[in-house]
């Protein structure tokens, strides 16, 4: 009895350690979004806003110097950060929508396709997921540079080419997520739809699509996230466009201010709220849907991804 209790405590302690290991860096990042410049830097500064001190003169920011909220304001007013974040959100949203639509179509077709067509198609889809991103990035760059020469109206390197490149990966990912649920659903419900006089299209709208919705939402969220924080592919195919990860990577080289921490903290908060809301919505739709044991919640999918 005693040993069971001890073992339980040991496991709890271990779990706590794991969570600390996972989340302490993030907590530190959020904390240092509120860090003041060093005392030496403050001594030589005579302006009203301490966050106006140039990045190179901030002094040691890896130690706690005191509390300020001014980095949030300066981050939100930064002339390069905000446009980059907006660009990333736009590309991410477009990539999520298009990838999910393509993935949905492929999942529906592939699940009921003749085996001789399905297996090669499947392998190609998996290939885009397992080939190192750097390879796809190089290939995309060469392709996108050459394409405008032969294809009229093909966009030059920029947001469009980033978007195209990310859809390749995103569509494969979305297809995997949606197909897992589609296959698990079986076709009895669709047969019931047909049986009750509903044609192919209306059965799809009224039965299949609502049942796939959790997987579709999960796929959209996941493809957005992958696009939003992707660095490698945009770094090759961006032309002169700056995405948020690209701006951050280049800023790191010249020293960054806690304004970056502040923006990251804002994004983290937004992400947590969005995931929480999605989780609640999915859970509610699942308790209503009841018997079906769908695994396509974002949490479950993230474990695969």
Partner 1 sequence: MTSDAGGASVDIEFRSVTKRFGDLTAVNQVSFQVLQGEFLSLLGPSGCGKTTSLRMIAGFEQPDEGQILIGGVDSIGTPPYRRDVNTVFQQYALFPHMTILDNVAYGLKQKRVAKSERYARAREALELVRLTGREKHRPSMLSGGQQQRVALARALVNRPRVLLLDEPLGALDLKLRKEMQIELTRIQQQVGITFIYVTHDQGEALAMSDRIAVMSDGVVEQLDTPAEIYDRPRTAFVADFIGEMNFLEGDVTHAEDGEFDLDTRSGIVVRGRGEATKGRPARVGIRPARLHVVTGSVDGATNTAHAVVETKMYLGDEVQIVAELKGGTRFVIREQRAGTDDLHDAIRPGEPITIQWEPTAPVLLADAPAPNEGGNDD
Determine, following the binding rule CB under 8 A, whether residue 184 of this chain makes contact with partner 1: no
> Which of 3, 288 has the CB closer to partner 1?
288
Nearest approach, Cβ of residue 105 and partner 1 (Å) = 21
Among 199, 253, 254, 303, binds partner 1 (CB under 8 A): 199
* φ and ψ of 130, to 5 deg: -95, -20
Determine, following the binding rule CB under 8 A, whether residue 188 of this chain makes contact with partner 1: yes
Determine, following the binding rule CB under 8 A, whether residue 49 of this chain makes contact with partner 1: no
Determine, following the binding rule CB under 8 A, whether residue 192 of this chain makes contact with partner 1: yes
Determine, following the binding rule CB under 8 A, whether residue 282 of this chain makes contact with partner 1: no
Among 15, 196, 252, 280, binds partner 1 (CB under 8 A): 196
Give me the residue label for tokens 């496991």: 11
Determine, following the binding rule CB under 8 A, whether residue 295 of this chain makes contact with partner 1: no
> Which of 198, 295 has the CB closer to partner 1?
198
- H/E element, 159: helix 159-185
Determine, following the binding rule CB under 8 A, whether residue 281 of this chain makes contact with partner 1: no
Q: Which stretch binds partner 1 (CB under 8 A): 6-14, 153-161, 248-256, 285-293?
A: 285-293
User: Hey, CA dihedral for 99, 104, 107, 108, is it positive or negative?
Assistant: negative
> Which of 230, 294 has the CB closer to partner 1?
294
User: Hey, CA dihedral for 118, 123, 126, 127, is it positive or negative?
Assistant: negative
> Which of 128, 198 has the CB closer to partner 1?
198
Determine, following the binding rule CB under 8 A, whether residue 120 of this chain makes contact with partner 1: no
Among 191, 252, 255, 283, binds partner 1 (CB under 8 A): 191
Residues 205-224 binding partner 1 (CB under 8 A) are 206-207, 210-211
Tokens, residue 31: 């904390």
> Which of 15, 280 has the CB closer to partner 1?
280
Which pairs with CB-CB distance under 8 Å and at least 24 residues apart come from 80-84? 80/242, 80/247, 81/244, 81/247, 81/259, 81/260, 81/263, 83/242, 84/242, 84/243, 84/244, 84/246, 84/247
* φ and ψ of 35, to 5 deg: -85, 135
Torsion-angle region of 197 (φ positive above 0: left; ψ -120 to 50: alpha; else: beta): left
Determine, following the binding rule CB under 8 A, whether residue 290 of this chain makes contact with partner 1: yes
* φ and ψ of 251, to 5 deg: -65, -35
d(C-alpha 126, C-alpha 195), whole Å = 36
Nearest approach, Cβ of residue 214 and partner 1 (Å) = 10
d(C-alpha 154, C-alpha 128), whole Å = 23
* Binding residues vs partner 1 (CB under 8 A): 188-189, 191-199, 202-203, 206-207, 210-211, 285, 288-292
């Amino acid at each position: 009895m005693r040993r069971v209790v001890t073992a339980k405590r040991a496991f709890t302690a271990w779990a706590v350690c794991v969570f600390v290991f996972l989340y302490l860096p993030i907590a530190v990042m959020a904390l240092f979004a509120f860090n003041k410049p060093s005392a030496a830097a403050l001594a030589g500064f005579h302006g009203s806003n301490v966050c106006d001190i140039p990045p190179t003169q901030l002094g040691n920011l890896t130690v706690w110097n005191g509390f300020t909220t001014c980095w949030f304001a300066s981050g939100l007013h930064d002339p390069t950060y905000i446009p980059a974040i907006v660009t990333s959100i736009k590309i991410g949203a477009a990539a999520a929508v298009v990838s999910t639509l393509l993935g949905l179509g492929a999942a529906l077709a592939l699940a009921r396709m003749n085996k001789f067509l399905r297996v090669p198609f499947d392998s190609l889809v998996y290939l885009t997921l397992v080939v190192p991103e750097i390879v796809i990035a190089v290939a995309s760059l060469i392709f996108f540079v050459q394409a405008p020469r032969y294809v009229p109206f093909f966009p030059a390197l920029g947001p469009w080419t980033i978007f195209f490149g990310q859809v390749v990966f995103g569509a494969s990912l979305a297809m995997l997520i949606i197909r897992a649920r589609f296959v698990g659903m079986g076709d009895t419900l669709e047969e019931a739809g047909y049986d009750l006089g509903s044609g192919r299209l209306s059965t799809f709208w009224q039965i299949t699509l609502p049942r796939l919705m959790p997987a579709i939402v999960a796929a959209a969220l996941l493809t957005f996230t992958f696009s939003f924080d992707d660095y490698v592919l945009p770094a090759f195919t961006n032309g002169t466009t700056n995405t948020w990860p690209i701006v951050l990577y280049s800023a790191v080289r010249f020293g960054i201010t806690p304004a970056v921490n502040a923006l990251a903290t804002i994004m983290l908060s937004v992400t947590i709220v969005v995931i929480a809301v999605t989780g609640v919505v999915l859970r509610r739709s699942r308790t209503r849907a009841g018997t079906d044991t769908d695994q396509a919640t974002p949490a479950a999918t993230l474990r695969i991804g």
